[in-house]
Structure formats: C-alpha cells, structure tokens
Amino acid sequence: MRILSIHAKSFSYDVVKPAIEEPEELKGEEKKNFENVLVLFVTIESQDNESTVIQALSEIENLVLQIKPSELLIYPYAHLSSDLAPPSKAIELLNRLYEEASKKLNIPVYKAPFGWYKSFKLECYGHPLSELSRTIKPAATTQKRSIEKKFYILTPSGELVNPSDFDYSNYPELKILVEKEVYGKELEGGENRVNEYCRKFGFEWEPMSDHGHMRYEPPAVVMMDAVSRYSWQVARSLGIPVFRVMGTNMFSLKAKPVYEHALLFGDRLYEVEVDEEKYVLRYAACHQQFAMLKDWIISYKELPLGVFEVADSYRLEQRGELNLCFRMRKFYMPDLHILTRDLEEAIEVAMKVQAKIHEEAAKLGRKYVALYNVTEDFLENYRDKLVEFVKRENGPVLVAVLPSGIYYWVVNVEYHIIDNINRPREIATWQIDIGNGKRFNIVYVDEKGEKKHVVIIHTAIIGSVERYIYMVLDTAAWTEKEGKVPYIPTWLAPIQVRVIPVSKEFLEYAFKVYEEIARNGIRVDIDDRDLSLGKKIREAAMNWIPYIVVVGQREVETNTINVKIRVNNEQRVMKTEELVELIKNEIKGYPQVEMTMPERLSARPVF
C-alpha cells in the first residue's frame, strides 16, 4: 500500500466520468468540500491484504494525533505504484480501511468513490508534517484460514461411520484412499511403470520450459488427439444438448468474478503481467465458458444444456508432486459445464453424469473409489439424495464434510483409481455449483418471465486428457504385473498395424497390403528398412503395435497375410480384408484419427 498524506487547509473534488468498467457506485451523498482535512491519497497494491490495512491504520492514528486535523479523507489514487491490485480487491481493502478508521479515530472519516476520474483543488498548509509518504508492506507471514473437514464413510444403506470404526475387509481400495485423505499417510510407492510407458509413447517433460510442462512426440499426439475427440463424443452421449466452444486461456484479475473465483485456488494459479495489468491463466474452462454464457439469452425450455471445451489449463503444482501424464502444470481438460434450473434438476442430471463416468471406466476394465466433498447444509438437507448417489457407486464412499458457504459448490466428487504402486489417483470428477451463476450473472428466463441464476454442474467425465491416458497405461501396468503382455486399446494405439516384408523382394506386396488397410482409415505403417526380420518384429512388439503383419513368399502365393495379435498373443493367417473388418469391429464407437508420421519407417528419424 502506498500513501501520500497531505494536510490541507482546503480540499475539494468533483466526479468527472468512470475510469474502469465497474466503478464503485455513487451514492449521491459524498462530501466533496473539506477544511483542515488530512487527505490520504491511497494506492492498493497487488500483495496487500488485511495486515496491510492494520499497519496503515496504526500509521494514520499517529499522524492524526500529531497534526490534529478536523476530518480525514481517504482518496483512491492509482498513480503511486505500477503494481496495482484488481479493482474488486482495492475496493474491498479501501472500504475496510474506511470502516476501521471510522471506528478508531475521533474525527469524521470520509472516502472518495473508487474507479472514477475526478478533478480536485488543494491548498496545503506547508508545515513539516503536511506532506508525507508511506509504503506499507503486507506482514511477512499470513496465517491461512484453516478449513476443518469431518470425515465419514457413507454406506449404500445410508449409515455414516467414523473412518476409524469401519471394516475395510472387503474394500481394500477404499482403505488406501482413507489412509491418504484422512490420516495423511505417506504411501509406500515404488517404481511406477507408467512413467516408462509414457516415455515409450512420446510423453516427456520439456526441459526448456517451466518444470511440469510436457512435450508430445508424434505417437503421443495421436493419443492426445484421439482422447480429445473421444471426450467430445462422450459429452454428447449424455442425451442433452451440448455446445462446443473455444476461447482464450488468460483472464484479467480486474474482472471481479475472475478475481473472486481465482481466490479459491490461491497459490496454485499462474499469474501473468502484461502492460502493467495482471492476468490469470485459466485453471480449467470455467472462466471462458462463463464469460460467454453470461451473454447468452437462455429460456427454461432449453435447460439443461451443456457447454464443452478441451481447455489448455494451468495449475502451479508443487514441483515434488509432478508426475508424467498425471500431475502437470499445463494440461488439457475436456471441461463440460451443464446449466440447470435449480439444485433439484442439477442432482437429477448429475446422476446421469455419474453413470457415464462409471461406464467409461468400465470400458477400460477399471472401477473407481469415490471421495464426496459435501457442505454441511447439503448433507443435512439432501442426505437422501446423497445416499442415492452412493447406491450407484461401487460400494461405500469416503465423505468429507465442510462448512457451508466457503466454496461455490455444495457437492464435489473425486473418482480415484488405485494405481500400480497402490496410490490413489484422481481421474474423473463432477460437482454442483450454486455460486458462479450469480457471480458471473448467468441467467435464464423462467416460466413467469423472471430471470433466475442457473445452477451449474462441472464435470470432466473421463478426466483430463493426460489423466485418462495415465489410467489406460496404468491398466497396462497392472496387466504386466499379472504376468501378461501389456497393451493399450487399438483405437488409442499410435500405430494400429505394422506391415513387415520378410525381405526387400516382398516390398511391393507389402505396399499393396498397406494401401488396402490405409484406405479404411486405419493407422498403418510399413517397415521398409534394411534390417533383419527378427529385429523388425521385436521393435514392433516393443512399440506395442496391436497387429503385426508379416508377408513373404507364402503370403504372396496365397494372397494372405500372417498376423500377430498382441492382446492375446495369437498368430493367424487371414485375408487383408478380414483384418480390416476385425479392426473396424474392435474400434467401433471410437474416433479414428489420422497418422502423425510418414508411413515408411525408413523416412523417420529416431525420437
């Protein structure tokens, strides 16, 4: 906080015009002419907080005692610093300073309105204390608000049980989640095979960036693209209208709803300064979608409706917690927001979301263990609905009960897998948001023609793009732990078929097979390098190619192909069209994206 204090014989000001989009409301009763007044020209800076106000008040009290003015005026003044706080924060702290000064000082205290251009006239007394400047820094340490959570196990029968009293004999995965979330137990860990798999498919940290940012080699790009497209497909399968949007990833902290929303995420947010204005990089798609939705004209007849974006998202995660494909500082979130009329409709729609989340995990052969974060009032008023949700889970859930009114949501559900090193990993999520409809002024017109704020469901049905891939690769790690050959689903494999000629003399036939497979939109390449057959086959196996096709003299003579199928280690002789039909049936219902590499292996560098 910067303060320029002037002890003025007289001071007056007039409001001219707004200086920001949402200036402080004029009450029409502001005093504008003063005599024997201590004028405090105050600039609120970005790091200021309650401690700054308290320190400033102490300085002001001492100054008032020394110069004995008849009145005091707090005058917002943005010209003492380039490190300005967002307007909403500045207004909040200036009002706080005004309120506290009014209580503690024995003279009248006034405040000029914030966010307006004003003209003023000033006549300074000219004594030694009549012109002073102060710089006030926030306290070196500020105590974070402690939010008390009460933990329970909620059973499908509706019983709330203390975690220490629950019998986990039949629920070992729930026990692992409880040990981490309730007791903060450091889990054993070990070598996470997923890290090796990530690198195999081209997911790497980018060494020339901030740590926690990944780069995606050509195989990884296929997987990212396929999952991104699939997430949109999943969103549309809910049976409600869904609109796809795109937007920016940077939002000004001057915008009050952006600033208020950003406060909830604290030091996990990236901030960027451009032209002396502070921006926040989006945490998910919320800011962009809400900024659009506030401008939409929506009728109750159109609800529920969804808005979707695969949003590049940024979270300043702790360096020691970063993990390839799971916890990054920049990732891609298939973020779906569903607008509903009220909490009751939101609960009804959330049950469809819940079912879809479990359906998608089951397709990979996985089951989730759930953590329900709920507010006290939701537990009290909607306990029957909460139990109904739990009946649809895979068994009892961990419930964390929080005080009401702290966050914008009333229920926030995290779905965890237990990965190959027995650690809980959150993948999918949904929450019911009762606060941001009002904060961003997103409204619909009800049956009576009245405007109402929407209730919003936030969900990432399959998780972030990278976390979904983490779950796929973790499933492969469990498969390998069971002594089986690890694999990934064919629709997600960067290369679905590799054609390998026994020798160069069969290259022409190999290209004929390649072309027939490629015509059907299948990702296929051809190993035309001058290497031994054994080495080519081993390399294809190391790259987890689902179907390895070998062609030689016998295949040319019989117009067939020899196929090695990875998932079941089966070797089969078939016609090319049979393989095409087999793969088409296997990937039915999933997006099929194009190749990201030349079809000839001889044209590829090593990466």
pLDDT digits (tens, 9 = 90+) for 33-61: 999 999 999 999 988 888 889 889 988 99
Domain count, the chain: 3
Q: Is the pLDDT of residue 29 over 80?
A: no
Given 78, 100, 135, the domain boundary residue is: 135
Per-residue model confidence (pLDDT) at position 260: 80
Q: Of the ranges 24-28, 284-288, 313-317, 352-356, which is most confident?
A: 352-356
Residues 129 and 24 in one domain: yes
Per-residue model confidence (pLDDT) at position 144: 45
Per-residue model confidence (pLDDT) at position 405: 87
Residues 252 and 304 in one domain: yes
Q: Phi and psi dihedrals of 248, rounded to 5?
A: -80, 170
Q: Supply the Cα-derived Rg of the chain in whole angstroms.
A: 31
Q: CB–CB of 389/150 below 8 Å?
A: no
Residue 483 lies in a domain: no
Residues 49 and 119 in one domain: yes
Q: Can you list the alpha helix ranges (DSSP code H) found in 547-604? A: 553-558, 576-586
Per-residue model confidence (pLDDT) at position 142: 39
Residue 87 lies in a domain: yes
**% of the chain beyond a pLDDT of 90:** 81
Q: Is the dihedral of CA 424, 430, 434, 438 positive or negative?
A: positive
Q: Tell me the average pLDDT across 406-418.
A: 95
Residues 124 and 160 in one domain: no
Grade residue 267 by pLDDT with cuts at 50, 70 and 90. low
Per-residue model confidence (pLDDT) at position 141: 42
Contacts of 300 (CB under 8 A, 6+ apart): 341, 444, 445, 446, 447
pLDDT digits (tens, 9 = 90+) for 118-172: 999 999 998 888 899 989 887 654 344 567 899 999 999 999 999 999 999 999 9
Residues 60 and 170 in one domain: no
CATH number of the CATH domain containing 578: 3.40.50.800
Given 426, 441, 473, the domain boundary residue is: 473
Given 426, 446, 473, the domain boundary residue is: 473
**β-bridge pairing 109-111 and 71-76:** parallel
Per-residue model confidence (pLDDT) at position 140: 52
Per-residue model confidence (pLDDT) at position 371: 98
pLDDT digits (tens, 9 = 90+) for 221-232: 999 999 999 999
Q: Is the pLDDT of residue 432 over 50?
A: yes
Residues 461 and 496 in one domain: no
Per-residue model confidence (pLDDT) at position 146: 60
Residues 547 and 598 in one domain: yes
Query: Which domain range does residue 95 map to?
Result: 2-135
Residue 143 lies in a domain: no
Residue 434 lies in a domain: yes
- Buried residues in 203-223 as b, exposed as e (16+ CB within 10 A): bebeeeeeebbbebbbbbbbb
Q: Is the pLDDT of residue 396 over 80?
A: yes
CATH number of the CATH domain containing 347: 3.30.930.10
Per-residue model confidence (pLDDT) at position 266: 67
Residues 103 and 178 in one domain: no
pTM here? 0.83
